[in-house]
Amino acid sequence: MADDPQRNFRSAYYEKVGFRGVEEKKSLEILLKDNPLDLEKLSTFSQRFPLPSMYRVHVWKVLLGILPPHSDSHSLVGSYRKEQYQDIMEALEVMRFIKSSTPSTHVYLRMFQLESHMLPRCSEISPPDQENEDFLSISQAMEEIVEDSVDCYWLIKSFISQFHTKFGDSVPHLPKSLEHFLSQEEPGLLSHLKNSGALAQLPYHLWFRRCFAGVLPESSLQRVWDKVISGSCKILVFVALEILLSYKIMLLGISRPEGIVKFLCNIPQENTDAIVTKAIDLWHKYCGTPIHAM
Amino acid sequence: FLEDVKCQAAELQASDGRYQAQQRITQLLQIEILQLYSKVEMEAILVPDGPSQTCTNE
Amino acid sequence: FLEDVKCQAAELQASDGRYQAQQRITQLLQIEILQLYSKVEMEAILVPDGPSQTCTNE
């Protein structure tokens, strides 16, 4: 490993001439050869750069603690994780909470409920509440990113748990933060949202509780989740901000708050990659390029 | 050695997680069994001559 | 540190043992549940209008 932790990161020069992808992949490969893995460096890397898709699941698993920093333990710990998954699944089948036709997202929900002591008794089964809907939505998105079902369940569970633990206190403040940055970037749009009464009704839930699951297609979403998993929930504010900025003209043309909300809940799926790229740039602009994970 | 200790600590934690899930499963299975027994017994009352003697494992 | 390593290795083994034991319990309980379910269902056929809809937990 290089003495200077920053040495492996692309220089401003490379950034300008566009060597990005290759340089980044090499830097990450060097980081992944460390044993034990340096979690702080891995976090910093994913805060700064998009993770190459071939390493994404592995890095997420390490950052979320599904795999320990010691590579020597990966196969043993991985086998424990798999057994735990299979045990829970089997028990749920025997107790008839799930059957072969149950959609996998619902299977994951029941598994999560079993583990967190929230599995309803059979007489109390009711339609999924808001929290369950959030879980299902995140599961659905994770399933599109992660192929292996054991990995998928562990990532959903750890992502949600980490998000609550780390950011539970910050989430209620994110709408205010969005308002603040919108006033900096586009005060006219902010006034319009305020005057029309839409500001209070924006789909904060989809943005800040579901982390854009179901809003952005997974190719864009995974780049946002790279940042969330490596330690920033602030990125969510900038993605929301960039959505507002990107559809400014459209939004200014809608006067009824319900119309605005309806549009934002179903944004066009075409240029979401560009939105995420701009959101990350804005986030770096306001919060600085992270040296350490935020 | 310090690294070995840390390494094993992570393995121990994962192993414990697996045990705790199994423990939780056992609890739920026991509750389920109790419920099923009471169901079987209730039916045994309704169909006294049916084949529904509950199995008490005794 | 050497002692720590040894100590943790023993703990890991213990954790594993606990897990295996719990797993055997789970297996037995699961068999019991499957038997109870089939009993309940058989009775449900005998008493079609009774209170014996099997609980599917869904």
Q: How far apart are CA C32 and CA B27, in angstroms?
A: 14
Helix (H, G, I), strand (E, B) or coil at A213: strand
List chain B residues with CB under 8 Å of C32.
33
Taking an 8 Å cut-off on Cβ atoms, the answer to whether A70 and B3 are in contact is yes
Q: Is A12 or A99 the better-scoring residue by pLDDT? A: A99
Give yes or no for B41 touching C (CB within 8 A): no
pLDDT tens digits for chain B (58 residues)?
677 778 888 999 999 999 999 999 999 999 999 999 998 888 777 765 545 444 455 4
For residue A11, give the CATH number of its domain: 1.10.10.750
Give yes or no for B31 touching C (CB within 8 A): no
Residue A246 lies in a domain: yes
Question: Containing domain of residue A137, as a range?
Answer: 64-165
Q: Are residues A209 and A184 in the same domain?
A: yes
Residue A292 lies in a domain: no
Taking an 8 Å cut-off on Cβ atoms, the answer to whether A94 and C57 are in contact is no
Q: Are A292 and A40 in contact (CB under 8 A)?
A: yes
Q: How far apart are CA B14 and CA A27, in angstroms?
A: 29
Q: Are A286 and A40 in contact (CB under 8 A)?
A: no
Mean pLDDT highest for which of A135-139, A288-292, C13-17? A135-139
Q: Are residues A270 and A221 in the same domain?
A: yes
How far apart are the CA of C25 and the nearest CA of chain A, in angstroms? 12
Q: Is B34 or A125 the better-scoring residue by pLDDT? A: B34
Q: For tokens 């179903």, what's the residue?
A: A266
- How does pLDDT run across A209-228, given as a tens digit for each residue? 999 999 999 999 999 999 99
Give phi and psi for A207, each to the nearest 5: -80, -50
Listed in sequence order, the DSSP H helices in A74-207 are: 74-94, 104-115, 130-145, 149-167, 174-185, 187-195, 204
Q: Across the interface, which of C23, C33, C57 has its CB nearest the CB of A122?
A: C57
Q: Are residues A48 and A93 in the same domain?
A: no
Q: Are residues A177 and A153 in the same domain?
A: no
Q: Are residues A283 and A211 in the same domain?
A: yes
Q: Where are the domains of chain B?
A: 1-47
Mean pLDDT throughout A144-154? 98
Structural Rg of chain B based on CA atoms: 22
Burial of residue B6 (number of CB atoms within 10 Å: 0-12, 13-18, 19+):
middle
Residue C42 has a pLDDT of: 83
Give chain A's contact residues with C (Cβ, < 8 Å): 87, 90-91, 94-99, 102, 122-123, 125
Give residue B54's Cα distance to chain centre: 20
- How does pLDDT run across A171-221, given as a tens digit for each residue? 999 999 999 999 999 999 999 999 999 999 999 999 999 999 999 999 999
Residue A123 has a pLDDT of: 54
Kindly tell me if the per-residue pLDDT of A48 is higher than 50: yes
Last residue of a domain, one of A19, A36, A56: A56
CA distances from A194 to A183, A256, A260 (A): 11, 11, 12
Mean pLDDT throughout A66-92? 96
Last residue of a domain, one of A56, A72, A98: A56
For residue A201, give the CATH number of its domain: 1.10.472.80
C-chain residue closest to B36, CA distance: C36
Kindly compute the dihedral angle of the four CA atoms of residues A54, A5, A14, A241, in this order, to the nearest 10 degrees. 70
Residues in chain C, overall count: 58
Give me the interface pTM, i.e. the ipTM: 0.82
Q: How far apart are CA A108 and CA A154, in angstroms?
A: 9
Q: How far apart are CA A228 and CA A56, in angstroms?
A: 13
A5 upstream amide cis, omega within 30 of 0: no
Residue C33 has a pLDDT of: 95
Give chain C's contact residues with A (Cβ, < 8 Å): 23, 26, 30, 33-34, 37, 54-58
Give residue A194's Cα distance to chain centre: 28
How far apart are the CA of B4 and the nearest CA of chain A, in angstroms? 9
Kindly tell me if the per-residue pLDDT of A50 is higher than 80: yes
List chain A residues with CB under 8 Å of C57.
95-97, 122, 125
Q: Are residues A258 and A238 in the same domain?
A: yes
Residue A124 has a pLDDT of: 60
Q: How far apart are CA A177 and CA A174, in angstroms?
A: 5
Predicted confidence band of residue A4 (pLDDT cuts 50, 70, 90): very low
Whole-number average pLDDT of chain C? 81
Taking an 8 Å cut-off on Cβ atoms, the answer to whether A68 and B11 are in contact is yes
Strands in C1-58 per DSSP E: none
Give yes or no for C48 touching B (CB within 8 A): no
Q: Across the interface, which of A95, A115, A121 has its CB nearest the CB of B21?
A: A115
Q: Is A164 or C48 the better-scoring residue by pLDDT? A: A164
C-beta contacts of C34-42 below 8 A and 24+ residues apart: C34/A94, C35/B55, C36/B33, C36/B36, C36/B37, C36/B40, C37/A96, C37/B36, C39/B40, C39/B52, C39/B54, C39/B55, C40/B36, C40/B39, C40/B40, C40/B43, C42/B51, C42/B52
Percent of chain A with pLDDT over 90: 85
Q: How far apart are CA A212 and CA A70, in angstroms?
A: 32
